[in-house]
Structures are given as structure tokens and as C-alpha cells.
Amino acid sequence: MHDVRFKGEDILARQLEMAEANYSRLHERGIRSVSVMGAIGSGKTTLIERAIVRLGREGLRVGTIAADSAGDDDHRRFVAQGACSVNINTQDDCHLDAHTVDHALDALPLDQLDVLFVENVGNLICPADFPLGTDREMVVISVTEGDDMVRKHPKIFAQTDLVVVNKVDLAAAVDVDPRRLVADYAILNPHGKIVLAEAKSGRGVDEILALLGFECTNTQW
């Protein structure tokens, strides 16, 4: 039993080393990077689509890493918005890890990118244990998942300083009060920022980008 635990610790230490290597690799090239975690179907892809277009208008070249268990739906959506993208199918794995991201970076034209978005597999548990080496991290949830999403997954919210509550236009239809999610997050992460958004219409996107360090001067959508 001790042996197994010891090996587990080794694996996480090795993941951290690989994440630090990814961080250095991106930093040396001046690429700003954002890891996007969140529940299945919460709107991560739509939010990144919006960011690709918005940052593109600011003259920033955006790359993406799209991860899903199977298929290339998200990858194709990013390409359609003009991003350089790599698709990853994790199959039986429910999260990305730093080693997989390292290989994805090999496949991207890093010298031609200013920004990188890494979209994790839809999951609010395991991604919390696997740093990828990005500058920033954000978690996306949707009001349609219910008002208990934050308190059910304390680890990922406690350690992530930017949270997006998406699909707020549907809050009344699903009888969910977003203030409950905001209040639960304030307890877990008093210094964190939380944005109510509607990625489909673009509501909240500029605020999210500003909190990620991107000031959009072109105010036209």
C-alpha cells in the first residue's frame, strides 16, 4: 500500500516537472496561455471561439489544443474561427496531462502564435490534479447544471482564480439562482473572480478576456 502511494507521488511530481517545461517553452516564445477546464457541455468551446475572433481583431494570433475523449468537433470549430489547432483524443482518460500537452505543442507553429488556449476534457474533478503549464487557468460551468456545481467540486474551484458561469440567460428557465454559485465560490476562493456570461451572445467575454490580461481596444464585435 505504501509502495503504491509512493509511486503515485512520483507520478504527480513528474507531471509538475513536465508542466514547468511546458511553461518555459511557451514563455520563452512570448506566448500567453490559458487552460480552460469545465463541465461537459458548459460552453468552453463557444467561449474559446469567441476569444479567437475577439483577439484576432486585436491582431493576436491564437492557437488551440482541443481535447475530448473522441472525435474532433471542437477542433474543427476552432479551425473554422481561424485558429491553428491540434486535436487530442484522450479515449479512456478523463483529463489532459502535461506530457500530452508537450506533444501537442510539438505539432503547433509556436513561432507564429501569440496566445494559446488549451481546452481540457469536460470534467470537474481530475483536471484539478494535473497542471499543464499554462500561465492562467479558468473553469467554466453552466447554470443549466444546477446551483450545486461549485460546492460539489471544491478542489478545482478553490485552486482556480477565474470562474465563468455560462448560459445565464437560461437561469430562470432552469430555476437556478446564479448568486448561489457566486456565494459558494466566494467561500472556497475569496480572492477569485467570477463572471456571469452568455458565450453564445458574447456577453461577458470582454470581461473574461480582461481578467486573463487581454485588453480589447477594438470595441466592435
Which residues of the shown chain bind its own copies in the complex (CB under 8 A)?
39-42, 68-71, 73, 90-94, 121-126, 128-129, 142, 144-146, 148-149, 151-155, 167, 170, 173-174
Question: What is the chain's percent helix, strand, coil content, to nearest 5?
Answer: 45, 20, 35
Smallest gap from Cβ 129 to its own copies, in A, equals 6
Q: Is the dihedral of CA 22, 23, 25, 31 positive or negative?
A: positive
Dist. CA 143–CA 42, nearest whole Å: 9
Give the nearer residue to its own copies in terms of CB position, either 114 or 169. Answer: 169
Which stretches within 40-198 are classed as H helix?
A: 44-57, 73-80, 98-106, 149-152, 154-158, 178-188
Q: Which is nearer to its own copies, 89 or 114 (CB)?
A: 89
Please name the residue that has the C-alpha cell 500567453: 32
Shortest approach of its own copies to residue 184 CB, angstroms? Answer: 10
Q: How far is the CB of 62 from its own copies (least distance, A)?
A: 22
Q: How many Å apart are CA 145 and CA 158, to the nearest integer? A: 19
Q: Pick between residue 56 and residue 146 the one whose CB is nearest to its own copies.
A: 146
Nearer to its own copies, 8 or 213 (CB): 8
What CA–CA distance (Å, rounded) separates 140 from 197? Answer: 10
- Pairing relation of β-strands 32-38 and 115-119? parallel
CB of 141 to its own copies, least distance (A): 8
Cell numbers representing residue 63 in the block: 492557437
Closest CB to its own copies among residues 107, 125: 125
Minimum CB distance to its own copies, residue 73 (Å): 5
